[in-house]
Amino acid sequence: MKNIADIIHIGELIAVSKVFQLNPYKMVTLIENGLMEVFENKEAFLKKYGNHETNEDLDWCELNNGKIFTKPK
Quick one: CA torsion of 54, 64, 26, 29, rounded to 10 degrees? 80
Other beta carbons within 10 angstroms of residue 33's beta carbon come to 8
The predicted model scores a pTM of 0.85
Q: Could you tell me if 16 and 59 are in contact, meaning their C-beta atoms sit under 8 angstroms apart?
A: no
For residues 33-51, average pLDDT: 90
**CA dihedral for 26, 60, 67, 48, sign (positive or negative):** positive
Confidence band, pLDDT 50/70/90 cuts, at residue 70: very high
Instruction: At 35, give phi and psi (nearest 5°).
Output: -90, -15
